[in-house]
Structure 1
């Protein structure tokens, strides 16, 4: 059976499957994370990335690093993180203070 798709479909709605059946596509539509359909609001991963960006901005840094993700997790704990942080005695305030002490405040922004 030949897989033919209309040429008038936008690229994001076409599968990567070739007419001969080869290709890596599953035939499912690909979408960007947080593509404006409300997913961004409900997706904890997107929220954490945005909080990490805020942390970097607050510190005046022009990059987002793992330290910013750690602070974001302390600020918005999801999954098992609250229990792990509680066991370690970590709070957002403590993490933010240490980051400021170690990295200092920069002049850039993200």
Structure 2
């Protein structure tokens, strides 16, 4: 699997991205959450981004400005707000109209209704694990898992969505999956036998569309300049 090649600090970025998504009320992990986790890390690639104004505070402010808070955000998160505004569609007005007609947190309630119910066992897609076996298996499984992955808590952010935080599995968006595929290609191109934060950074910067490019543009950061400086700094360190 892809994540088996991730260095511990790179795995921590992915875990922190999920925590940021939950805190902001988003039931998906997008490139923007990976970027937010990355710029807060104590790593050379993260420092380069912050030196260019791509700080955790600025990134989070742009995420909230462009996507918003709350469980209903995924309905709008993959849409280009500026493009829709140019043809007279205001996503914030659409959200307000939905909540006016169906009440506050209508999108959150709809999302919870869709995803309510137990998930099938991974051991067999159509048969749940016997309760007795589950009682014995679950503590040992979680203890082993916790021992393998115990990253530091994600840094606190500026914003927190109201209401219940998304629970359970949070999927990656198609663009986030694309950025992770870029990450693997960056490591392969440099003949590295691991995937580190520098590869994650380069994979995100390589995205030609989506919220990362929009955030970088809003903050006045040049993707080519960032890429050149990250590559140069890691080349000097090697």
TM-score by length of 1: 0.56
- What stretches of structure 1 move > 3 A for 4+ residues in a row? none
User: Is 2:42 the partner of 1:71?
Assistant: no
Q: Per residue, is there more helix in 1 or in 2?
A: 2
Partner of 2:27: 62
In the alignment, structure 2 segments of 5+ residues that lack a partner are 72-107, 109-165, 171-238
Is the 8 Å Cα contact of residues 49 and 55 (structure 2) preserved in structure 1? Answer: no
Partner of 1:13: none
**1:16-27 correspondence runs (5 A):** none
RMSD between aligned alpha carbons? Answer: 2.5
Q: Distance in 1 between matches of 2:70 and 2:42?
A: 26
**1:19-58 correspondence runs (5 A):** 33=4, 43-58=8-23
Q: CA deviation at 1:57?
A: 0.5
Q: Distance in 2 between matches of 1:77 and 1:63?
A: 25
Q: Give the count of matched residue pairs.
A: 73
Q: Distance in 1 between matches of 2:37 and 2:53?
A: 16
Q: CA deviation at 1:83?
A: 1.7
Q: CA deviation at 1:77?
A: 4.2
Report the structure number with the largest CA radius of gyration: 1
Higher RCO, 1 or 2 (CA under 8 Å, sep at least 6)? 2
Q: CA deviation at 1:58?
A: 1.1
Deviations 1:5-44 (A, max 9, x none): xxxxxxxxxxxxxxxxxxxxxxxxx9x73xxxxxx9x701
Q: Distance in 1 between matches of 2:14 and 2:49?
A: 20
Q: Distance in 2 between matches of 1:91 and 1:59?
A: 17
Q: Distance in 2 between matches of 1:48 and 1:103?
A: 21
Q: Distance in 2 between matches of 1:79 and 1:43?
A: 15
Partner of 1:95: 59
TM-score by length of 2: 0.28
In the alignment, structure 1 segments of 5+ residues that lack a partner are 1-29, 34-39
Q: Distance in 1 between matches of 2:33 and 2:60?
A: 9
Q: Secondary structure at the match of 2:44?
A: coil
